[in-house]
Structure 1
């Protein structure tokens, strides 16, 4: 097992190959901001917005068609019309119209009825989005309906699909008024959420009808299943009212986003024989508290149980790999709630996962282990020496942790891996340098308040822990902290023990102390930190030129002990004569 199987979200290392915050999940329909131009006959990705170069403009019955002609065919690139009904010409410039391009009719907002030529084999993504179509009869040679092709056609009630159709794209009929539809035997692919948010019925007497004996799909108890050589794959649970799920016999895989967004789902029983659970399979099932995973599961995709309410988790005996943030629950990534998983168990026969210091760990052969999820409630957490990577969101929202001990063997920290929220007070960094026992120890203390927790987040957001950067982040947080007592005390301690304190920050500390001398001596007196007066002198902040002002400020605040110590320093160190001072 190597780290590349984990697929972390950060790109700080060569084996960090995905971006959890930027990449879409597999199966999600995406409309990129830009469009690239295609030549006739050139194919595009199913979720790619493209723009064909029109070379013919034709006006027919008040409709203006921009078309791309070439390679013996015509692609309708754009249609401008205010008509409620259109019959697209079968030929343009002597060539057959064979494709409706992406976005082609999406600005024909009044369009209620359209007749396409029988030779049309493909309808591009977003082609009829937002139109007023009430019905649609697919042409006899249609092979592909693109992603989002009829998205948000909220008046579309009736669709008749031809028996040569092979592909229905993701979100193809989403947010329409479809009441019934028959899926032809020829359909080989149905995209995710193709019929979501419609009036279709999926249980009892389904109005989404898939014929018995369909070679690729079947509908059972509100779930859409795909037939594969390995067995059934659950493509998607279509019934949004599902509360309990019991997988059928022969189920081999749970597909990407199969249960995503089912907010009423509470319990799911995954039957023995399932080997894979896809990316974001249960994401957003906010009431899901109980999932039973069989020992046959070998892999679990990224964000599989993200934003669920799981209370406990049993790792399957055969589990070998997991995706980033697979077990992060409770809406914590979106900062809505707290984590919910409080208990994790790992069977002894699992050779890849184990628990250590309440941390779920994943072995990665000789390279050490990845910390996947912290489920404890300790104030002090020690990252074991065998852990060399921190997984995405492994400690996110573990606000109970105040003190963290980490070490130099950790060479990668995935996004949010050590984001504890606002509770972390300090970090102890151990340097082993290849030895069994640490040879050096460093301690970073984060200031209280916003400056401190922001510094803690900065320290662990770079993909790996850099000690010099960490000290710089803490020093900057100290400098901007509003608490005068804490700020001045921390600056003096850093000046006394200047580990990795650069000249620029040293100068900034000295100037800050000099400018705030009067408020500092008062704050030290109010907090009983009288030794701070001596540190001010040792740091060179107290001088013969400013000590009288410090005495006056302390006296005005009634800090007798501070005044006494300042007078003593003035007498012994600045060779000032004794004098009477009204306290």
Structure 2
């Protein structure tokens, strides 16, 4: 199959930096002029790289500290980094597009407990101390629930978690002592410690103390060692198996390419684990406190062992570190 101009333009949208764009045009003459065909910037720009994209009409701002340009024929901005709902309301009249609107604690104080349809993220402690909140509808537009989002919502009795959720903050139902019922669209497994849900990114939450019903059925807690991770999963998210103290072993399928931060944090009974060669990244504190872990093999696609990755692994006597590792984080061991 021969790549045409349209196909290479679509492919180059996923380039990481300006060097990739330049190398393409230097290396393959028939693709010279690819950069000029863009009417938006597919990467963050600086003073130098801005000159290489002369025909930008819509300027994308990916990070809060990106350099912003309003020159040439630019007439609209698309903002990708999280922006509070209040900021969005204040600035939307300018005609800009906000891709990740966050409902913050301040927003909730001002606009109430009903989550606006434009919102995609529920921020840190967004609904904390909402003592009168008994139930809440999380719309399918929400992709992330922040850390301790519903902290000490003592009257909250039920909640619906849609399948759109790709990230659940740790202790998001902290001290929700009346929470007895949860509806979860895409549940994968319920162990004694955690509820696992969603795909392709597997997320989990600690089971609230008084929870009795999930999806209108009494909870049936299973031995976590019987959990078979589906092959549809591509990532184990942050804190996925956090403090699963009864976990002794688990098979990670080759479909998974990343282990999140604190993924197996203090899995104190975990004695062995096979990391497949499909894994390219192991997060911070991934195996912190796995005090029974004896040996581990690091596959060659991994090039970094991150912060406190194996700290407090007191039984670890053998580890194979491949030549691909170029950096070992602080307090790794």
Output the TM-score relative to the length of structure 2.
Answer: 0.48
Structure whose alpha-carbon radius of gyration is higher = 1
Output the TM-score relative to the length of structure 1.
Answer: 0.30
Task: Name the structure, 1 or 2, with higher relative contact order (CA <8 Å, separation 6+).
Answer: 2
